[in-house]
Amino acid sequence: MQPYLLGLRLTGRRVVVVGGGRVAQRRVPTLLASGAAVELISPEVTPSLEDLLDRLVWHRRPYRPGDLEGAWLVQACADDPAVNAAVAAEAEEARVWCVRADDAHAAAAWTPATGRVGETTVGVLSGGDPRRSAGIRDAVVEGLRDATFEARHSRNKPVGVALVGGGPGDPGLITVRGRQLLAQADVVVTDRLGPRDLLDELAADVEVIDAAKIPYGRALHQDRINELLVEHAKRGRFVVRLKGGDNFVFGRGGEEALYCAAHGVPVTVVPGITSSIAAPAAAGIPVTHRGVAQEFHVVSAHVPPGHPASTVDWEALARNRGTLVLMMAVERMSLIADALMRYGRATDTPVAVVQDGTLPGQRTLVASLGTVADEMAARGVRPPAIVVVGDVVRVAEEIGNLTADMGRDP
């Protein structure tokens, strides 16, 4: 006979867990999250369970008859099958539902493979086969997370504008929440550094607006981008502003959020993985490393040192011995390197340049501060590229994750 699946509301209700091993380690956190009053019976517990002892009652002893009195649910998770059998027998006599971890077919109840996405809880049973249940659960949860199972015109459709950080370029690095909202969009306003492969997955009726800003080339003015977000949102359309990296890290997301707020349009901000950290990481460069760099500074170099519009204290950065991560620095690297050396950074300071970080064409150039500008020009480095200045580059070289040849993949 097939089981009858229920959603138990356990808030404040006594649930007894017998056993403190790996199975209990999986079950207890979920029970606590449901609000159950958990009592754990076991002479010993795992370190993970020990970390939860302030949220439950631990009877530090073996199970004994009578322990199940007043329980609403029992989990028999002992390592000894004889103990589990005794627990199950007492539960049956007391008419308390009991899950037996070691023998599903001898248990009165089964624990489904569960997953939660927002307010939706998924539970799967597959005839007592936990691996098959988990596989089906994972497929359903993934579909809910990336909105494959969500209709764009459902009752819970988002409104207004979502500023979605798309990550450093690899479409697999967008956040789960970002992908959910993208799948529900009516309009997507995207730039050239966003994960453009994801646009092909959109429904045919989604309007995609190209807001690319080509360096020294075509560009949609920021004022017009702001206007487009508000115009479409006020027509009742859900708008996703999809950008590379994180919208609030040199992405002008703050300007877009302010403009929407000023015009009464609700804004959802979905953080993204910033390329300032992701690109170095993809090349094996830790921006911090114990004993080498305790801090790092992310700098927008869209204007060079000495330019009236620059707010960067290059002299202070040169004196600092932390890691420097430079964005938008390709065209100005000669001026930047000269300024850093003039203010005190050693000419032999290691520098790495990561071009197209996380993408199939990723390449890494390693040089010194004194030679990097010439080597970048000789190797034809082009944007987008992240420049890392500091001794952490040597750490990456030591573990073999970098190559000095721009013609080879790292």
Indicate left, alpha or beta for 88 from its phi (over 0: left) and psi (-120 to 50: alpha): alpha
**C-alpha closest to that of 389 among 335, 316, 336:** 336
Query: What type of residue is 8?
Result: L
Neighbours of 237 (CB within 10 A): 16
160-195 per-residue burial string, b: 16 or more CB within 10 A, e: under 16: bbbbbbbbbbbbebbbebbbbbbbbbbbbbbbbbbb
Long-range contacts of 379-382 (CB under 8 A, 24+ apart): 379/406, 380/406, 381/330, 381/353, 381/355, 381/406, 382/330, 382/355
Alpha carbons 394 and 347: distance in angstroms, whole number: 15
Sheet holding 267-270, edge to edge: 207-210, 187-190, 239-243, 161-165, 267-270
- Catalogue the active-site residues: 191, 213
Using CB atoms within 10 Å of the CB of residue 106, give its burial: 0 to 12 exposed, 13 to 18 middle, 19+ buried: middle
Q: Are 182 and 206 in contact (CB under 8 A)?
A: no
The dihedrals phi and psi of 18, each to the nearest 5 degrees, come to -105, 120
Q: Is residue 241 within 8 Å of residue 231, measured between CB atoms?
A: no
The number of helices, as runs of H, and strands, as runs of E, in the chain is 12, 17
Using H for helix, E for strand and C for coil, what is the string for 290-306? CCCECCEEEEECCCCCC
Rg of the chain (C-alpha set): 28
φ, ψ at 50 (rounded to 5°): -60, -30
Copy the structure tokens of residue 2.
């097939």
- Which of 110, 5, 86, 87 has its CA nearest to residue 40? 87
**Strand pairing category for 97-100 and 73-76:** parallel
